[in-house]
Amino acid sequence: MSYERHIPAMAEEVADLLVTDTGGIYIDATLGTGGHTAYLLDHVPGSFRVIGLDQDRLAIEKARGFLERHSGRIEFLHGNFRNIKDLAGVAKCTGIVADLGISSLQLSDALRGFSYQGEGPLDMSMGEEARSVPKLLATAGEREISYLIKEFGEERRHRAIAREIVRIGLENPITTTGELRAAVERAAGQHGLMATLSRVFQAFRIWANSEMDALEEFLPQAVELLEPGGRIVVISYHSLEDRIVKRFFKLEESGCICPPDFPECRCAKEKRLRIMTRRPIRPSREELQKNQRARSAKLRAAERI
């Protein structure tokens, strides 16, 4: 299988924000095919090591080949970043980067079922723990499907699309990307169709891989792994992810969260992070000319205190 190599979003910005100790240990929590790790090892002087983690076995194998020239400085681990503390194998690290986007490797393989632009089984699995989208579409009611499309896709025509999916499913189960695309087309029409398809496919992908739950579980573990002065950098690609990261960073930067009418603090909460990006960093115009897939990327960073 051939594919367009994934170009890491805002790689220079990641390197500038992440690396504080050129002899430290860094974790790439969503290694993919190794774009961000390759940039770090190629452009940042030092003897630091990288632990590369990914739930997609195929991505790890591709990364091994791509990063072979750095084989002495990188360790490859298979697993979901929601379990980063157990998987990392270190008590503390100097920095963690997580690029939450879907990779070119996954998008370009029609057999993976992530893209409405190809014809293949409606798989959408990033790892072994993924749930079955065809099973969902065959067993869920209109209300549940509508909710998922609205919640994870933020698609305003969620009711009409869910209604059409259920109607078609009663006659012939939807099991391929082409069949799902046809259902969306019939419900939504041609106006803004590409954006609607992207949102619907995103919604089912997020559900299949429990992406929001995984992110919620990853963030507090990442902070626990960081040594004082260590940094976490997260790149998100839609508002659902970005809101979770923004809210978590703000919570960890705040101290006491007791109601203001309490005479004394009872929560014993301490500040753990210093936010480094009051507003998310976006790709430059020059970067977007080379990498249109980064157009929705938002980067947030924080430092452990």
Span 92-111, pLDDT tens digits: 999 999 999 787 778 878 88
Per-residue model confidence as pLDDT tens digits over 52-89: 999 999 999 999 999 999 989 999 999 999 999 999 99
Kindly indicate the confidence band of residue 230, based on its pLDDT and cuts at 50, 70 and 90. very high
Question: Phi and psi of 214, rounded to 5°?
Answer: -60, -40
Instruction: Name the residue among 249, 254, 218 with its Cα closest to residue 96.
Output: 218
Contact partners, residue 231, CB within 8 Å, separation at least 6: 17, 18, 20, 94, 95, 96, 276, 301, 302, 303, 304
User: Where does residue 159 rank: exposed (0-12), middle (13-18), buried (19+ CB within 10 A)?
Assistant: middle
Per-residue model confidence as pLDDT tens digits over 114-156: 999 989 999 999 988 899 999 999 999 999 999 999 999 999 9
Report the pLDDT value the prediction gives residue 166, as an integer from 0 to 100: 96
Window from 108-112, 263-267, 275-279 with minimum mean pLDDT: 263-267
Kindly indicate the confidence band of residue 267, based on its pLDDT and cuts at 50, 70 and 90. confident
Q: Of 18-27, 105-114, 253-262, which has the strongest mean pLDDT?
A: 18-27
Report the pLDDT value the prediction gives residue 227, as an integer from 0 to 100: 98
Report the pLDDT value the prediction gives residue 190, as an integer from 0 to 100: 87
- Kindly state the average pLDDT of the residues 18-29: 97
Helix-then-strand count for the chain, H and E: 13, 7
**CA 32 to chain centroid:** 10
Q: What is the CATH number of domain 130-209?
A: 1.10.150.170
Q: In the chain, what are the domain boundaries? A: 11-105+211-304, 130-209
At the topology level, CATH places domain 11-105+211-304 in Rossmann fold (3.40.50)
| pTM metric for this prediction | 0.91
| Radius of gyration of the CA atoms of the chain, in A | 21
Q: How far is CA 124 from CA 42, 48, 113, 301, in A?
A: 32, 35, 5, 29
Q: At residue 157, does pLDDT exceed 90?
A: yes
- Kindly state the average pLDDT of the residues 172-183: 95
Report the pLDDT value the prediction gives residue 257, as an integer from 0 to 100: 74
